[in-house]
Structure 1
């Protein structure tokens, strides 16, 4: 018999030629030698340290990453209990006691690799070694999971028929050892009759586990022992799928050489090549393509390998796929192309790769321009790239896609204004975007947000200052309704041609007005609701007499009077002005006769036209006169920009 000291027990290959009986004897001798150095008292049983979570050592195969070899626990430094003074059978009695800690003494014994104590139990014919716990685990499963080869050898020698025994989740000792990366245990189990094709309740085999937590040595052992390379899990996932997911090039080669099928699909219609592209494993992409993989095979939702690589930002993977002539114009069932998702995820380098190979016709058929996505996601750098590449800044969403938004938006400009992105808005307008294409005018959004800078920019590029909301909410311009409390915004709109005349058109005139309908109170509901239109349109006198704006009503009316000629205030507006003594002058301002200068200014502005008002400042006229025509009493006022 070979002495323990003569064998390098860390290298299983050194003693792989020994018989099972010799292995067991070596294990016992090694354990006894270690005990003599560590503790003068023999046959000690370690306690389990407090706080160890039993679930930590038993990953659930339902969860992927179930067999993470990196989670193999370090050797536990467990305190020992001195030999009991009771008769020899006290050891069995102790092991049968219900443990207070989370792991039983038997489990702790195996975790520590105490082969001597385990051998003592075997010699005593201790029945607890084959008794399953509440998860169906026996001592053999513990030894395999923790990679305790000596304990495993003892148990297989004592109970050879247990080699393929399963836990409640149908896990064999071989599957547990393979999933944990315990090479020597896998080799020993295979040589002692373990079947490589018994699967757990998720139909995951030891080969699947060895690929899920990659181990080349274990995969090679299993394949040599007859493991079925194309056996799939309940999810339809094969070992090759897992090897591709983890980027294991050598494993992929091993599996392909053993007959691995490239065309196996999981329940989502995904092949191995798709997985490799999804995770950006360029070497595997090239390998599988060389083996005949379909580089354009689409998943159940229509996603192509290129689409997934673009979505996940794998620049090298995308480049490799394009070199292999992957089709950049295969769309998802939703109609989105790889270019769309690359923009959505803000992968600018991938966008630059896709632009030259993406069909503009296919983009048009998708119902959404890349510019829409760039604008919605505030991707200014990508937007600039798309504009330089010639994408239409006035492209509209398809009817179906527009209906996905309550406001029925349709242009990239609307998205940028809605997001308050001044830089993107300016970029689009400078590239020729029309601010008047949406059902709900972009200027109204800027006004509603109170963005003076945005409103100035839109007006500069021709936004319709008199745009109405559909369905119509008021008899006067909607822009005035949306920001009625802001005098600076009011003045900006009026200076740029907003029609003030309808504000004084009241069907009741000097007659008594009916009480306000509850549907018209408060006015805020009217201004912010675009879904439920009011029973009737709102008149200006009704809006300004609301309790929300009664304090600002006087200055608002006074400002409006500067932009109209002869008007007659209705009884409700008079009532509002009479509510405060300091508004008497405003009432007088409305009475005729009106100053000739005011009437001349109004007539000149009418003749010039709304769209050309911004050109008044270019006329060869004195600065003071230009300021007068523009209603600027204080030139270069920051509140009232001059174009």
Structure 2
């Protein structure tokens, strides 16, 4: 351990080693650091009592606790041969230091029985246990390693199995076998714990009255022996009249513990001595339920023959059958069914064994229960059927087994289809199996279940789109899913996510490009709010029937527009929540394009829109945007009348023929592409 040197005013002083103080000699660096912290917290007043006292400096070593304390608070040397400390200005006379509190702590610890203060224990970084004594004011009195308790001779002899020594101690007049040790154990408990049956016989012959005495946790010696699977000790105790039904404070009997230990021999021994089989623990579990959870049919048979009831439930209403299904114990479940257990019994929350087996993915259990006519149409507390839970979990094998046993009418009454849950969790295999089984791909959530989602979604298609699951989306659309049933259309979700593949699928299957949002009305197609920053997507929507003319309708026209009053909390994605009068008529395109996140693309957006309209007038707000950037002046000229004749003809043909029938017209390819707003028209014509 490093030493600390003390000096003042630059003069060298003899080094003072920590080893000079015996109290420090057995402390590690972490312990010394702890001591330094304690002293700094409790003795700071020492530094204020003598402001002119000499201070310490230049401390070396890992922890210089002594050097960090003012001189008059330093401990006196215990070695009379220690060299004196020299200073430039020594005190006139050397006096004995006075301590307001013992510092460092005294070597002899106070008596815990008479000590007036608090005793605290802690562990150092090296794992050494320490004990500290403090006065009521918090000042430290003593700190030292915690003394190790010496093991009682009788308990030591029992632990090592020295029966002769145990007998000698038992016969000693001063030995009291009824006096418990620190944890409240008697010698009989110690013998049962270590499996010392010979010592146990000696103790019982000397004091048979302690055979049913309990520990601080309420354990008898028999319960201790059973918990440790000490069969010889259990046999000795039972042979000497131990009560097999005394539980601990958790109401766990020896029989319950034997089942918990999965010990058939111990169970047989206890039953042969008349143990009661249906005693529940504090949570209501019986010995049979413990045996079922461990799938021990041998123990189950012994318990049932002894009168165990399989229909008893714990505090949650769970029976042994339910426990077997929950934990996937096939053999135990088959045993219970053979002995008349109700296959459709329900727990307190309404769940059946079939429901729980489907929830935990136990295929063999589901198959066994269905073969015993388990009802697949009993819901759990959330109203979901076993099929719902299996679909949510993604167990396609279990789903296949449950589909024939589940009523579609009962599914409809739940207000949610298993298709919703499969789509929500991206269970594509389950989704495919449900579609093939004929479940309605357009089934909608009930109003109560739809309200659980902020966007009020209602279809399985919506779940697939918002999950960006293209395969599931394609599967549902191919099966006839309607993309226009939700309040907030799946097309808008796909546009917001920027997924052109999903948008293409939805448009090809009839998604309404021009749909609005009832809660946020607009004078133009609402999907444009989410697609204007992605011009190829925006153009695709216009190519396939998106309205463009409505984007140029403005109630203000050439007149000045009022300022848009918005706050940060009023934004909804790229939209702006406006005044009440504006909401009644709907948000205008010129107001939407003025949003800070969109206005930087105002010119290219207007340029694309002009290709899909004839004669239009730009309102003053759109003109402001085009005037804000010099390169956009050509777009402003493009909007000026008259519009090109070819453009007007294209619009007229599209209006008369329809976009979907353009390809059928007997026209050159270049002209067809012109009508479809495709590039390189002149090269092909």
Q: If the length of structure 2 is used for normalisation, what is the TM-score?
A: 0.73
Judge which range, 283-292 or 104-113, deviates more: 104-113
Q: Match for 1:290 among 338, 363, 372?
A: 338
Corresponding residue to 1:330 among 358, 369, 378? 378
Alpha-carbon contact 1:473-1:533 (below 8 Å) kept? no
Task: Give secondary structure in 2 for the equivalent of 1:408.
Answer: coil
CA distance in 2, matches of 1:241, 1:448: 53
Asked if structure 1 preserves the Cα contact closer than 8 Å seen for 2:576 and 2:595, the reply is no
Correspondence for 1:601 among 627, 645, 650: 650
1:199-238 aligned within 5 A = 199-238=247-286
Q: Which residue of 1 aligns with 2:635?
A: 586
Aligned residue for 2:540? 492
Residues 619 and 227 of structure 1: is their aligned pair in 2 closer, same or farther, counting only changes over 3 Å? farther
- Distance in structure 1 (CA, Å) of the matches to 2:174 and 2:666: 111
Alignment equivalent of 2:459, drawn from 411, 430, 433: 411
How far did residue 112 of structure 1 move? 4.3
Corresponding residue number in structure 2 for 1:554: 603
The 3-state SS of whatever aligns with 1:356 is coil
- How is 1:615-630 mapped onto 2 (pairs within 5 angstroms)? 615-630=661-676
Using the alignment, how far apart are the partners of 1:107 and 1:99 within structure 2?
Answer: 19
Q: Tell me, in whole angstroms, the C-alpha distance in 2 between the residues paired with 1:404 and 1:452.
A: 29
Say if 1:520 and 1:605 are closer, same or farther in 2 by CA, change over 3 A. farther
Structure 2 matches for 1:91-170, cutoff 5 A?
Answer: 100=148, 110-115=158-163, 117-124=165-172, 127=175, 130-133=178-181, 135-170=183-218
For the Cα contact (< 8 Å) 1:523–1:548, is it kept in 2? no
Aligned alpha-carbon RMSD (Å): 2.6
Counterpart position of 1:351? 399
Equivalent residues of 2:520, 2:583 under 8 A apart: no
Q: Is the 8 A contact 1:473 1:526 kept in 2?
A: no
Superposed CA deviations along residues 111-151 of structure 1, whole A, max 9, x for unmatched, are 54454554454344565865435543333323323433344
Aligned-residue offset at 1:484:
2.5
The whole-number CA distance in structure 2 between the counterparts of 1:179 and 1:466 is 73
On the 8 A contact 2:566/2:576 being kept in 1, the answer is: no
Matching of residue 424 in structure 1 with residue 472 in structure 2: yes
Tell me the SS of whatever aligns to 2:432: helix
Q: Which residue of 171, 176, 179 corresponds with 2:224?
A: 176
Could you tell me how far apart the structure 2 residues matched to 1:378 and 1:102 are?
Answer: 63
- The structure-2 alpha-carbon separation of the partners of 1:152 and 1:498, relative to structure 1 and needing over 3 Å to count, comes to farther
Conserved? CA contact 1:554–1:583, under 8 Å: yes
Distance across 2 between alignment mates of 1:413 and 1:533: 35
In our comparison, the structure showing a higher alpha carbon Rg is 2
3-state DSSP of counterpart to 1:209: helix
Structure 1 residue 591: deviation in Å?
0.7
Aligned counterparts of 2:415 and 2:478: Cα–Cα separation in 1: 24
Give me the whole-angstrom Cα distance separating, in 2, the residues matched to 1:170 and 1:145. 15
Deviations 1:259-316 (A, max 9, x none): 0112111111121111112222222222212211111111111111111111111111
For the Cα contact (< 8 Å) 2:442–2:459, is it kept in 1? Answer: yes
CA distance in 2, matches of 1:242, 1:458: 55
Matched residues in 1 for 2:359 and 2:493: separation? Answer: 32
Equivalences, count: 534
Determine the C-alpha separation between the residues in 1 that align with 2:549 and 2:298: 80
The reply on whether 1:394 has 2:442 as its aligned counterpart is yes
The match for 1:264 is 312
Relative to the length of structure 1, the TM-score reads 0.78
Structure 2: 5+ residue stretches without partners: 1-144
Bigger relative contact order, structure 1 or 2 (CA pairs below 8 A, ≥6 apart) = 1
Structure ranking higher in helix proportion: 1
